[in-house]
Every structure is written in structure tokens, then in C-alpha cells.
Structure 1
Amino acid sequence: MQLQLRGSKSTLASLLLIAPFFLWGTAMVAMKGVIPHTTPLFMAGVRLIPAGVLILIAAAIMGRPQPQGWLAWTWIMIFALVDGTLFQGFLAEGLVRTDAGLGSVMIDSQPLAVALLSLWLFKEHIGIWGWLGLGLGVAGISLIGLPEEWIFNLLDSGVKITTDNWQELFNSGEWLMLLAALSMAVGTVMIRYVCRYADPVTATGWHIILGGLPLWGISAVVEGQQWQNLVLSDWFALSYATIFGSAIAYGLFFYFASSGSLTSLSSLTFLTPIFALLFGHLLLSEVLTPIQWVGVFLTLISIYLINQRDNLGSQKTTQQSPILETSATNQRKSVTLAVRDSEPKV
């Protein structure tokens, strides 16, 4: 009975770890379906502010403490700007110009940036598998995000990039998704500093609210017809993205990020584009080009290598250990024989 309980707890823990990435992937598809009937910044604010209120209500029920002191609120404000306003703003604007599945792959390249930030801030070891993953990640992101004309020019006659190419890149959704990925990576690392002064759950709720308010403010100035064309199914999709894709997903993710290993948690991030690509194909009939599929494949491999580098390195060490043990045994035998030979004969 005890083993069954332990097994059920382990299964529940695994499901909770996977849940944020499943919810983010499916929420990406839900948001993409709503975009034709609303505006991106308004949609981003709807996804954030109500979700933050729900998290704070849950934190109050659980008895979580509220932030205290100017240091706590300063870190929360910076956290809100980076992981709330910038991340969701770039994400929403990028979704207008790219597919949900492709956008999710671009977003979930953020472990590449997390690895570099961890190396710089926490002196985390990357190793040969990590550097190999980074190289594959750069190649994969280039195939996904760069205009195909650039790639063909590079393969055919070297680099030949025009002003129109640069304008195409900076106006593309893939470029905005990369900026969103960088914002999310900085926010993932930043939660460790935020939790030195504030509870992770309440900090998550407040940073979502404070990060969403500027999005609604900008939307009120530069956007129009934000909700007039929304139908009932759109409100259901927004509710799903808000409750499940933000409140629950953010709450679980930053709770695990504040109390566990960032590397272990980030190793599950490659599941998000798989969910998004699957549901984007089933619900929105999205199709990627062959070059982009190659980029997706390389990106997923790179994310796996980066976040599993310690396990891959330990396997190599384990495979080498019998050889080392045999060598050590032979050395001990040689020393024993030498000592015996040096003993005086009677």
C-alpha cells in the first residue's frame, strides 16, 4: 500500500511538472485562434491581469505572505517589466505574424539563453554536450527565423543580404518570438533573486498584474476595436489561456523554478512546441516548410542536449569506469609484485 501511495505521488509530481508546458503549448493555439477578432496587446493584458488576480486569491487561501519592503517590490517591478510586459507583448505581437506551433518553438528556445545566463551568473558547468546543444540551437533557430532567401543565398553564393532582407527580418514574427524567448529566459533566472525578498507565489501574482497593466495602457492608445468582434468561442479561448495558460501554468512553473533545479525544470521545455505543433495541426491546419521542420528538429535536439548534459556526461563516466578500475587493479598488482621481488631471499 505504501509503495502504491509513493507511486501515485510520483505520478502526480510528474504530471504537475509537465502541466505548465502542456498548458502553454495549447494556450498558444487558443490565442492564435482569437487574434483575428481582437488586438494583440489587449489580448496579452487579458491573459495576464485576471490570471494574476486568481493567483493572489489562491495565495491568500494558502496563507502565503505578501511582499514586504522596498527591495521586494523593486524586484517584483523589474520582474513584471521583463517577464510580464516585454515577454507577453513580444509574444502577442509575434503571434500575429507567425503560426502557433512555430511561435511556440521560437519561445521555447529560451533554455539556450538560460544556459548562458546560468554560466555567467551562477558559474554553471555547460560541458561538451551543452556546447554542442548551443551550436545546434543557433543553427536550428537560424533555419526557423531567418528568411529563406538568406539561407539559399548563403548556400549558393555566400552571404548576400539586402536592405529589404533586414526589413523583412525585423518585421517578422519569428524575430519578435526570439525577443520574447530572451525576456522569458531573463525572467526565469530572475525568479531566484525575487524569491530572496518575496514569496514565489505572491510575487508571481503581482508581477503578472503589474506587467499586464502597461499592455492595456498601450492598447488603449494605439489599438481599437479590442473586444467588439469577439464571439462566445473567443471568450472561452481567452478564458482557457488566462486560467490554465497563465494562472495555473505560471504558478506551477515559478514555484518549481524557485524551489528546484532550473536545469531540470528547463529540460521539460522542449515538450511545449510538441504540444503546440500537434494541436496547431489538428485545430488550425498549420503547416511548416521543410527548412523550418529541419530547424524545429535541430532546436528540439539542442534543448534536450543542453538540459540533459549532466546525465549524458555521467553516462560517459560510467562507461569508462570499468576500464579505469581494471587499470587501477593492474597497477596494484604491479606494485605488489615489485615489493615481493624486492624482499630479501632466505
Structure 2
Amino acid sequence: MAPALWGTTYLTTTLYLPEDRPLLAATLRALPAGVLLLVLSRRLPQGQWWWKSWVLGVLNIGAFFALLFIAAYRLPGGVAAIIGGIQPLVVAILASRVLHERLTARSVIAGATGVFGVCLIVLQTQARLDAIGILAALAGTLSMASGIVLSKKWGQPAPPLTTTAWQLITGGLTLLIIMLVLEGLPTTPLTPVNLMGYTYLSVAGTAFAYVMWFRGMARLPASTTAFLGLLSPVVAILIGWVIAGEVLTPTQAVGTLIVLGSITAAIITKAAKPPHVEEIPIEARTV
């Protein structure tokens, strides 16, 4: 559910938010959602979870949101999200080193297949590809991948609603400081359409989606979680085609199918071999 909701971010940004205000969009998406969840949970971090929440908040929220909106403002609707196709490979490599999750050939092949699908979509698009936008999308993917692995390594000391509130607050405060320094406050009042867009992103696309995301992350291997994230670019490219009238070429359609196939292969592989159950060698079974 969470990645599907995130896939609507790009269209919402281009249609409903004011132009050239990526840091304002990131701040108003994160901070109000964090305040809402903190009011509902009514619990603050304790001990080392003050700094851990800040680190995770920057990786999963602060840096990721800022880079995400920079990419969304500078790239076509589906392209920025599709670049996230490298995330499963990054997470799989990091998880094998940090979490000691097994890096299987099937996971690598599925990840590489997803990247190939990404290339078919991005490299063949007729829209103008902005270099800064692509770099921002790549950096945001690396930030989120690091946050996924660290979140899995450190665990969750409280229910998902509570830990999500901590990360949104810390990430939102970091974004607020950066926004005030680099962008400043808005010089023109926000329109009702702008407010509607910010409200949707904050409540549905952030508060609700991130509670679901961290709840699922606690119950799944890190690499599986990363593959599910590819649903976001699939939704983004399809919404851009259906609603925004963006061109979807046959090559892009094939790339989208390939990405969906890589997600399916990764999930089936993980489901068939639980991450914490060691397979008994054939020789031992024979004896």
C-alpha cells in the first residue's frame, strides 16, 4: 500500500503544488504528518533512540524527501520514481554486509532485471531528462536504501505509529531548517489547490503510508521490502500516462512489465525460502 501511495507523489507535485519550492513541499509533507502521529502516539524517544531517530529521520525522511521533490520538479512524472529501480540491488548489497542476509544469485538477477526495465523506461523516454533531477533521484534512492537497512538493524522499540512519528518529526525539523536557509518562507499565499495537495501528501502519502511501510519492514527481510518499493515507480508511470497524458511508448510498457516481473520473482523467492530457516543439505536428508 505504501509504495503505491508514494507513486502518486510526482503527479500531485506537478499538478497541485507551487512551482520551484521543493524544500517547502518536503517540509509540509513531513512535519505536519509527524506532529499528527506524535499527538496520537503520545510517546517520546528514550536514551539512544533520540539520536537513532534523528539519523533514521534524515535518511528515510529529511534527505530523501528533499531529493525526491527536487527530482519531481525537474523530471517527468514517472521517470524520477523509476530511477528507484536500483534500490533493491543497493539494499541487497548493504543487507548482506550489515544484516548478514544472504545475497543470492536470484536476488541479484531479479535486481539487475529491474534495473534493465528501468533503463528501457528512462533511456527511451521522449521527455527532456535533467541531469540535476536524475542525480537527485539517485541520491534519494541511496538515502532511502541506507535508511531501510539501518531501520532493520536497529529494530523498532515502539509500535510503528510511534517510531514513524519520531522519524517524521526529526526529518521534518531538519527540512525546516534547510528550507529557511535555502528557500525562505513563501512570498505569495498558498492557494486552496496547493493546500489540498499538501494535505493529501502529508496525511495519505506520508502519515498513513509510512506507518504501513515501517510495519511491513519489521516483518519482512530488508531486500524484500526494497523490491516492494518498485511498485511506486510502476504506479507513477501508469498515472502519468492515464491522467497527465504523458507518452507511454511500447518500450516503456515492456520496461514496466519487466519491473513487475522482477518484483514478483523476488517475492516468490523469499516466500519459498524463509530468511531465518536454513535449508538442509541433500546429503543430510538422504541419511
Q: TM-score when scaled to structure 2?
A: 0.81
Question: Is residue 101 of structure 1 aligned with residue 78 of structure 2?
Answer: yes
Contact 2:85/2:115 (<8 A) preserved: no
- Tell me the secondary structure at the aligned position of residue 284 of structure 1: coil
Distance in 2 between residues matched to 1:211 and 1:246, nearest whole Å: 12
Percent identity of equivalent pairs: 30
The answer on 1:213 being equivalent to 2:190 is no
CA contact (8 A) 1:130 1:307 kept: no
Paired residue for 2:91, among 114, 117, 121? 114
Label 1:278 to 1:227 Cα distance change in 2 as closer, same or farther (>3 A). Answer: farther
* 2-structure distance, mates of 1:305, 1:292: 20
- CA deviations 1:39-77 (Å, max 9, x no partner) are 0011100000001111112223xxxx43211x1111111
Higher deviation after alignment, 119-128 or 136-145: 136-145
Q: Which structure: larger Rg?
A: 1
Shift of 1:93: 0.5
Unaligned runs of 5+ in 1: 1-18, 149-167, 315-323, 329-346
Counterpart CA distance in 1 for 2:241 and 2:251 is: 17
* Aligned partner of 2:5 among 8, 23, 40: 23
Deviation at 1:95, TM superposition (A): 0.7
CA contact (8 A) 1:145 1:175 kept: no
Find out whether 1:275 has 2:235 as its counterpart.
yes
Indicate conservation of the 8 Å contact 2:4/2:231, yes or no: yes
What one-letter code is carried by the residue in structure 2 that aligns with 1:135?
A: A
Letter in 1 for 2:265: L
Match of 1:50 in 2: 32
1:126 aligns with 2:86: no
1:286-316 superposed Cα distances (whole Å, 9 cap, x missing partner)? 22556555544444433433343345779xx
Task: From the superposition, tell whether residues 176 and 43 of structure 1 become closer, same or farther in structure 2 (CA, over 3 Å).
Answer: same
- Cα distance in 1 for residues equivalent to 2:142 and 2:267: 17
Q: Distance in 2 between matches of 1:199 and 1:136?
A: 35
**Secondary structure of residue in 1 paired with 2:8:** helix
Aligned residue for 1:126, secondary structure, equals coil
Corresponding position of 2:205: 245
- How far, CA to CA, are the matches of 1:259 and 1:40 in structure 2? 33
Instruction: Let me know the Cα RMSD of the aligned residues.
Output: 3.2
Q: Is the 8 A contact 1:80 1:208 kept in 2?
A: yes
Structure with the higher helix share, 1 or 2: 1
Range 285-294 or range 80-89, more displaced: 285-294
Task: Call closer, same or farther: CA 1:259–1:301 in 2, change over 3 Å.
Answer: closer
Distance 1:182 1:127, change over 3 A: same
Residue 67 of structure 1 pairs with residue 27 of structure 2: no
**Structure 1 stretch 199-208 or stretch 72-81: which is displaced more?**
199-208
Match of 1:34 in 2: 16
How far does residue 97 in structure 1 lie from its aligned partner after superposition? Answer: 1.2
Instruction: Give the SS at the match of 1:308.
Output: helix
Task: For 1:220 and 1:309, locate their aligned partners in 2 and report how far apart those are by CA, in whole Å.
Answer: 46
Provide the residue aligned with 1:4 in structure 2: none
Question: Alignment length, in residue pairs?
Answer: 276
C-alpha change, 1:38 and 1:58, in structure 2 (3 Å) is farther
Shift of 1:242: 0.6
Q: Distance in 2 between matches of 1:240 and 1:145?
A: 27
CA contact (8 A) 1:109 1:303 kept: no
Q: Secondary structure at the match of 2:243?
A: helix
Q: Assess if the C-alpha contact under 8 Å between 2:10 and 2:236 holds in 1.
A: yes
In structure 2, list runs of 5 or more residues that go unmatched: 275-281
Partner SS for 2:228: coil
1:175 CA displacement: 2.6
1:186 partner letter = S
Aligned-pair distance for 1:271? 2.6
